[in-house]
Amino acid sequence: MRRDKLYEEGLADTAASMAVGAQHSGRTTHGAISNAAQYAPVMVARRLVRGESLDKAFFSIQQRRQSPMLNILVSTLVGWEQYGADRPLGEVLEPLTETIRENAATRKKVTAELTGVRTQMGILAVAPIVLAALMRFTSLDYARFYSSFWGESTMMGSFFLAFAGVVIGERMLNQVNQVMDLGVEE
């Protein structure tokens, strides 16, 4: 599934809103989620009102989003609700909110850097073609060489290496994306 890149940033706002809601509503997860209704999907709140457990209420959203940070948030809420804690939910969610924000900022930075690398790969892949064309059309000596068997073999070899470099580079960049997604495929 394609993930909305802004979702992780909005998730931090949701967690912060839940922390505030938990403090104002008797320290319950239901109150926390109700306070976050402007960010959280309405169907979660409706399912909770119907009496579904937190993990069941969030299940379809977790399946659709495939967000590791959402999974951590839901696990935190479920654990806090089931096992209780000496600390108020707001105090539990505050560090998680910061973690989600840092994760979103890191993801944004890495995505920008990977975009630059992809652009550079594209330029390097096209460079042999442009260089060969320039050399072939600007000099008679090069034109004769590149029209020979060895010249055409050299060009084909450089084109193949450029293509192979792009394929290998894309695979490596996709592996970096998977690490950033904590192993979740997009």
- Average pLDDT estimate for 39-50: 70
More confident site: 48 or 127: 127
pLDDT at 49 over 80: no
Alpha-carbon distance 105 to 102, whole Å?
Answer: 5
pLDDT of residue 27: 58
Please check whether residues 93 and 125 belong to one and the same domain.
Answer: no
**The model's pTM:** 0.62
Write the pLDDT tens digit of every residue in 65-123.
878 888 888 888 888 877 776 777 778 888 888 888 888 888 888 888 888 999 999 99
In a domain, 155, yes or no: yes
Listed in sequence order, the DSSP H helices in the chain are 7-24, 29-35, 42-49, 54-65, 68-83, 89-138, 140-147, 149-180
Alpha-carbon distance 114 to 177, whole Å?
Answer: 9
Cβ–Cβ < 8 Å for 23, 90: yes
Please check whether residues 20 and 93 belong to one and the same domain.
Answer: yes
Alpha-carbon distance 36 to 41, whole Å?
Answer: 9
Q: How many domains does the chain have?
A: 2
Please check whether residues 116 and 72 belong to one and the same domain.
Answer: no
More confident site: 34 or 131: 131
Please check whether residues 54 and 73 belong to one and the same domain.
Answer: yes
Residue 174: give the domain boundaries: 108-180
Please check whether residues 72 and 126 belong to one and the same domain.
Answer: no
Return the percentage of the chain with pLDDT > 90, whole number: 10
Please check whether residues 55 and 33 belong to one and the same domain.
Answer: yes
Alpha-carbon distance 44 to 55, whole Å?
Answer: 10
